[in-house]
Structure 1
Amino acid sequence: MTPLFAVATDGGLDAFAGLLNAVPVAPFSLNFGSKTYRMDEITREELYRELQGNPVHPTSSQPTPQDWATAYAAAGGGAGLPVLALTISAALSGSRNAAEQARTVAPDLPVTIHDTRTISAAQAFQVHAAASAAQRGETLDTALDWVRRTHEETELYFTIETLEYLRRGGRIGRVQATLGGLLNLKPVITVDRQTAAYTNVGRARSYKGATLALAAQVTARYGEGTPLRLGLLYGSVREDADALLEAIKERHPIVWSGFAGVNPVLNVHTGPRALGVAAAPGKWAWERS
């Protein structure tokens, strides 16, 4: 099929090899004081070394309008195709605004901007929906319908080993971080449906407990025995994702599962050891139609 549009996204994406996620990306950047890396210029292993040895805690920067314009051109410019741009939740980043500003940089290229209202593996599911529609020669309106339906049925849950990195990044207060550290609490976090921002839905007293709590959240959302698709995420410990998959398998048949390392920009805020899952029921929405 000849595509009628192209797809681009931003660095909020954690891409899965088993999904149609190989689309142009407007990258985020990492800043260690005066030293800046684009997210494709530093590996996760290099980031972990920097976090351990660099006294300066890094900050992250959203894509610039030029970054987005470059992604638009890479996606549809050569063939003159309209572009569907899927952005990380506007409640979590200013990337959506930069995507809008990029229209003035590339005024001749028709661009439709869609806020995924999520991040990471759940964003990957929406990119897959859009790219699947493009690959099949569907219209842009059909793609947006598939993307919205995918969002409606997908949940993202994650946990982290320590609250220290959220504290360093100014995303949690010092007292909260200290209290959480003293009690060894591991939060269970999701992206709120109403605000499209992070919200805490549970906590556990150990990392193993948090892994089981993630699995329990998935079952509470979809009901035991429901077949699931899973996008599993891991930080510095790949085996964490294997353990989470096994815990979910005890309660659900798995239709599809894939694994992805949390990208360096997101890992700055979670800290090295992080674990997450995007879950959705059964087949993809368009496969059920």
Structure 2
Amino acid sequence: MTSPLFTVATDGGLDAFAELNNAVPVAPFSLNFGSSSYRMNEITREWLYRELQTNPLHPTSSQPTPQDWAEAYQQAGGSELPVLALTISSGLSGSINAAEQARGMVPEIPVTLHDTRTLSAAQAFQVHAAATAAKRGETLETALEWVRQTAQETELYFTIETLEYLRRGGRIGRVQATLGGLLNLKPVITVDRATGTYTNVGRARSYRGAIEAIAAQVTSRYGAGTPLRLGLLYGSVREDADTLLAAIQAQHPVVWAGATGVNPVLNVHTGPRAVGVAVAPRAWVWEREGASG
């Protein structure tokens, strides 16, 4: 096996897929109910859903601390190898600032920071690109090239049953403005590339209609018949991901599909029932004919 020239770390914006190279050290987010705080690796989605039903307090989330990031750097490479750290969008969290501060806590570890400008399954695609480059013994520069190309061709779309949780968390922004406050409409949300924040690209009168609207958005973006890779996401209802997959498959051959549950900290902002997908065309960058590296 080729010896890696660098290692990879990320933060709790990641929703990992077992089938991808996503098993990297994570600087965890925390979930807070009043004065009680829980790190995301200490709780489950099922626990969160119970708390949302029974706890009178609305939860908030906290970004990783510099110490969390420093520990992730040490887990990733110790002082042996440089670390490529991929963060959730700086438009959604200050995690990258904590990651920057953490560099001063472990000066013996060379750290390169990359703002994914996204989150969740789309962040997982970028982590997969970086970790694959590391496993193959590619240079850090090649890894960044793969990560950036993956970012450019990947879109993240999701819908939620209610806007209430985005509203409570203060992250509704342009989504609310576009919907004009009509909270009964189900939005199709993406992450704006320019700002790294949520924006609305569609709407539907029902949750099932919003799933169909996501599929239509995918076809509009990539063109009918384009082969796709799909990182499917679900909240409290696993079958929602299957419904979305079937809707996309009606217009596209699927060359890879995985499904994972939205992690508890992200699920706080979407609310229990949510479904989404990270989408990219064709094969991975490094699998294409003439790919560098």
TM over 0.5: yes
Which secondary structure state, in structure 2, belongs to the residue aligned with residue 276 of structure 1?
strand
Give me the whole-angstrom Cα distance separating, in 2, the residues matched to 1:178 and 1:266. 24
Report whether the alignment pairs 1:180 with 2:182: yes
Give me the whole-angstrom Cα distance separating, in 1, the residues matched to 2:166 and 2:134. 37
- Residue in 2 that maps onto 1:54: 55
What are the within-5 Å matches in structure 2 for residues 152-191 of structure 1? 152-172=152-172, 179-181=181-183, 184-191=184-191
* Offset, 1:168: 1.8
Sequence identity (%): 78
Which secondary structure state, in structure 2, belongs to the residue aligned with residue 117 of structure 1?
coil
Mark the CA change 1:172 to 1:282 in structure 2 (over 3 Å): closer, same or farther. Answer: closer
Q: What letter is aligned with 2:101?
A: Q
- Residue in 2 that maps onto 1:198: 198
- Residue in 1 that maps onto 2:148: 148
Q: Out of 266-275 and 187-196, give the one that drifted further.
A: 187-196
* Offset, 1:170: 2.6
Which secondary structure state, in structure 2, belongs to the residue aligned with residue 196 of structure 1?
coil
What TM-score, normalized to structure 2? Answer: 0.95
- The answer on whether the counterparts of 1:163 and 1:180 sit within 8 Å (CA) in structure 2 is no
Which secondary structure state, in structure 2, belongs to the residue aligned with residue 195 of structure 1?
coil
Report whether the alignment pairs 1:90 with 2:79: no
Report whether the alignment pairs 1:272 with 2:275: no
Give me the whole-angstrom Cα distance separating, in 1, the residues matched to 2:199 and 2:47. 29
- Residue in 1 that maps onto 2:6: 5
- Residue in 2 that maps onto 1:73: 74
Report whether the alignment pairs 1:217 with 2:217: yes
Give me the whole-angstrom Cα distance separating, in 1, the residues matched to 2:189 and 2:100. 29
- What do residues 152-205 of structure 1 show as CA deviations (whole Å, max 9, x unaligned)? 0000000000011112223348x9799533xx2100000111111111001000
Give me the whole-angstrom Cα distance separating, in 2, the residues matched to 1:64 and 1:261. 24
- What do residues 50-89 of structure 1 show as CA deviations (whole Å, max 9, x unaligned)? 01110100100000000000000000006x1100000001
How many residue pairs get matched? Answer: 285
- The answer on whether the counterparts of 2:172 and 2:198 sit within 8 Å (CA) in structure 1 is no
Which secondary structure state, in structure 2, belongs to the residue aligned with residue 129 of structure 1?
helix
- The answer on whether the counterparts of 1:159 and 1:275 sit within 8 Å (CA) in structure 2 is yes
Which secondary structure state, in structure 1, belongs to the residue aligned with residue 277 of structure 2?
strand
- What do residues 23-45 of structure 1 show as CA deviations (whole Å, max 9, x unaligned)? 00000000000100000111000
- Residue in 1 that maps onto 2:258: 258
What TM-score, normalized to structure 1? Answer: 0.96
Give me the whole-angstrom Cα distance separating, in 2, the residues matched to 1:179 and 1:196. 22
* Offset, 1:104: 1.2
Which secondary structure state, in structure 2, belongs to the residue aligned with residue 146 of structure 1?
helix
